[in-house]
Structure 1
Amino acid sequence: MPENSDQPDPGGASYPPPGAPSSPPPPGSSPPPPGGPTGTPPGTPNGTGYPAYTGAPPPPDPRWVAPGMLGAAHKPGAMALRPLALGDIYDAAFRIIRFNPRATVGSAVLVAAVAMAFPLLLTAILTFTTGLTYDATASSTTGEVEDVAGLVASFGALALGGVLQAIGLIFVTGMVAHVAHAAAIGRKLTLGQAWAATSGKRWRLVGLSVLLGLLITVGITLYVVLWIVVVVTAPAALVVVWGLVSVPAFVAGLWWFWIRVYYLPVPALMLEDVGVTGAIARGYRLTAKQFWRTFGIALLTVVVVNIAGSILSFPISFIGQLGVLAVDESNALLLLVASQGLATVISTAFVAPFTAAVASLQYLDQRIRKEAYDVDLTRQAGVLE
């Protein structure tokens, strides 16, 4: 066999294009009857030695298929089944969102809207029952005790809404992992299908998020305690040296934890038969010897989505701030909370699904690079049997 498989063999033979007959008919012969090269009816063995394909996977959505040589085989879905570059990952993330809007943007909007409805409802109740007022131009709080309590309750509810949104987005991230995997093999998931795909893993997903959050909290707490000890017991010169050494080391440690421990366990938990600790171990192994590449893409994604989210939400926030100055004090706080909630929903609609899609694609990319997962994906797409 020649070393370069792209060149024809010495005998002049070459692989025919997909769909072409295996050999030209002899001169003077009649064309074969319809149904296959041997005249067999559709759905029966076609004379090639293999039965007609009747496997479970449906044909890929034609919108996924890329033109070119063996396009359907190399790219049956949103991504090419090969190691991915940065442009490939971002292109695939946008394609996933475009062709699965309800399961990606829709789920994120639903979670953010429900979470932000809580502070808005509480503020509305306080406004219409207690006469809550808010003066955005005042330099200090001079209102009644009830007004101060109402302000604290309203802004506290806004913070609680953010916590509820963060919890809900945990499930959105798990859903997007299934959406990205299905898109890689040319399948499209609805919102209901993506939610059903997380069945049996939801409590594990919550447990994973809680565990990772506790690890981060413990690490930060220990570092703060060390700072207190050093400041109290050490001379000023040593405190300066400690700061110059420990702050960069702590930031680097947080980055290492983010990529090696925190970044890939969610798609691993969703797409593999592993538990909470198994998902963390899988993420750790997949990022081994791939830290800088994974970190660079992840960090760039954070920068991009934060800039894009700010651009998307700025008009609503700006209009809300102007409205607070223009309306009556009795409705100012309600308008402020409403505008902030709407801005949060608009920003989340892009930030959450895109970030989750990029992380899921990086998980698939690492498996392709280290485990030849592209072969399994090609088989799942129905291209290989």
Structure 2
Amino acid sequence: MSPTSFPPPGAPPPEDDGPTPQPTYIPPPGIAPPGHPVPPGLPTAPPAPGMLGAAHRPGAVPLRPLTLGSMYDGAFRIIRYNPKATVGAAALVTAIGMSVPIVLSLLFTLTLGTGLDAGGSPEDDLSAGEAIGLLGSVGALLLGLYATQLGLIFVTGMVAHVTRAAALGRRMSLGEAWAATHGKRWRLIGLSLLVGLGGLLLISLLVVPVVLVAVLTGEVLATVGLAVVVGVAMVCLFGWLWIKLTYLTSAILMLEDGGVFRALGRSWRITGRHYWRTLGIALLTMLITSIAAGILTTPISLAGQIGTVLAPEYVFVILAATQALASVIQNAFVTPFAGAVSSLQYLDLRIRKEGYDVELMRQAGLLPR
């Protein structure tokens, strides 16, 4: 029987000669073999041929162009292995910010009586003190929400550093993540203010024509038609600018050198030819986090509504407390997950367009520096 022919039917199986010996990888002269101690001054050998596929994932994600599944899997891994710097940071910031409306609403209720009188009628006029307390409670809630959003801006910057460290196989504590944002926190605030002012300016420019048509012509049909056209144009314009200028800018500010305007320019360039893919992943992430947040916070909202019926005199305290608890639970999941996904998209785009995976492998010790 020739060596390449199959055995006849009924013949015993060939004896197992053991595993096929693998060729020994010998590194170039002057380089230490993989797995051996590296003498001082001697560089480490790169991975053996054929072994790069098994070694190119030192951390949460593979160091190659990422798929959607790799991004979502990596985001969950980042949260799981860095809980204090992700979930803990978001929950802590939200709890501190939302403690403001709880304390002030309780103070107004006890001193000015801002609750609802179960025996009163809706037509009863509010006293001056009750009106002040009511406005104060609403203002305190808005203040708490604003303070929370301001703190979450810093959490997003921390998550960017945590994501890059996780891609290299490293964990960051809460203190390390906070320290990594040193020197760039004001840039995050400046970016948020610039984006907010730019958004208000664009809205004003788009709304003015509708108002002018309504005032000058008085035609309801023309006004409604123009409003629909302007509304569609506004959604498209803001969606385009969101991806091109703002979606990845926080990660760029944190992980690269430069100011706000340089980060905006980098975002514009890095999303070139990848707009629709970036938009699709961003919208899908927004949909997933919105559904998850609704599922997590619905029981708390129902409990708050029941509480206001049972204790109407403390209605604003109960509403502030339930809003605070719902915000803590929601932000503890949404902010780290969305921030990790957007940071992974930034790394993915740099890998695709700039070969950033080679630099990440060097930083992870997979390739010689």
TM-score range for the pair, normalised by the shorter chain length: 0.7 to 0.9
Query: Is it true that 1:83 corresponds to 2:65 in the alignment?
Result: yes
SS in 1 for 2:74: helix
Counterpart of 1:90, as a letter, is Y
CA distance in 1, matches of 2:131, 2:181: 43
SS in 2 for 1:187: coil
CA distance in 2, matches of 1:145, 1:277: 48
CA distance in 1, matches of 2:306, 2:71: 39
Counterpart of 2:249, as a letter, is P
Q: Is the 8 A contact 2:161 2:177 kept in 1?
A: yes
Mapping of residues 1-385 of structure 1, within 5 Å: 22=26, 42-44=37-39, 51=42, 53=44, 70=52, 73-135=55-117, 140=122, 142=124, 143-234=126-217, 235-236=219-220, 238-327=222-311, 329-385=312-368
Cα offset, 1:238, TM superposition? 4.0
CA distance change for structure 1 residues 138 and 75 in 2, over 3 Å: closer, same or farther?
farther
CA distance in 2, matches of 1:216, 1:15: 65
CA distance in 1, matches of 2:106, 2:227: 47
Superposed CA deviations along residues 53-90 of structure 1, whole A, max 9, x for unmatched, are: 59xxxxxxxxxxxxx96465221111111111111111
Quote the sequence identity (%): 50
Q: Is the 8 A contact 1:141 1:148 kept in 2?
A: no
Cα offset, 1:148, TM superposition? 2.5
Superposed CA deviations along residues 3-35 of structure 1, whole A, max 9, x for unmatched, are: xxxxxxxxxxx9958xx6749xxxxxxxxxxxx
CA distance in 1, matches of 2:119, 2:240: 44
CA distance in 2, matches of 1:223, 1:15: 71
TM-score normalised by the chain length of structure 1? 0.81
Equivalent in the alignment of 2:17:
none
Cα offset, 1:124, TM superposition? 1.5
Q: Is the 8 A contact 2:56 2:366 kept in 1?
A: no
Superposed CA deviations along residues 304-361 of structure 1, whole A, max 9, x for unmatched, are: 111111111111111111112112x333332221111111111111111111111111
CA distance change for structure 1 residues 247 and 79 in 2, over 3 Å: closer, same or farther?
same
CA distance in 2, matches of 1:198, 1:352: 17
Cα offset, 1:274, TM superposition? 1.4
CA distance in 2, matches of 1:336, 1:265: 35
- Deviates further, 345-354 or 124-133: 124-133
CA distance in 1, matches of 2:180, 2:119: 50
Query: Which ranges of structure 2 fall in alignment gaps of 5 or more residues?
Result: 1-19
TM-score normalised by the chain length of structure 2? 0.84
Query: Which ranges of structure 1 fall in alignment gaps of 5 or more residues?
Result: 1-13, 24-35, 55-67
CA distance in 2, matches of 1:169, 1:136: 38
Equivalent in the alignment of 2:8:
none
Counterpart of 2:188, as a letter, is L
Q: Is the 8 A contact 1:137 1:325 kept in 2?
A: no
CA distance in 2, matches of 1:268, 1:139: 56
Superposed CA deviations along residues 169-216 of structure 1, whole A, max 9, x for unmatched, are: 110111000000111111110000000000011111111111111111
Count of matched residue positions in the alignment of Structure 1 and Structure 2: 337
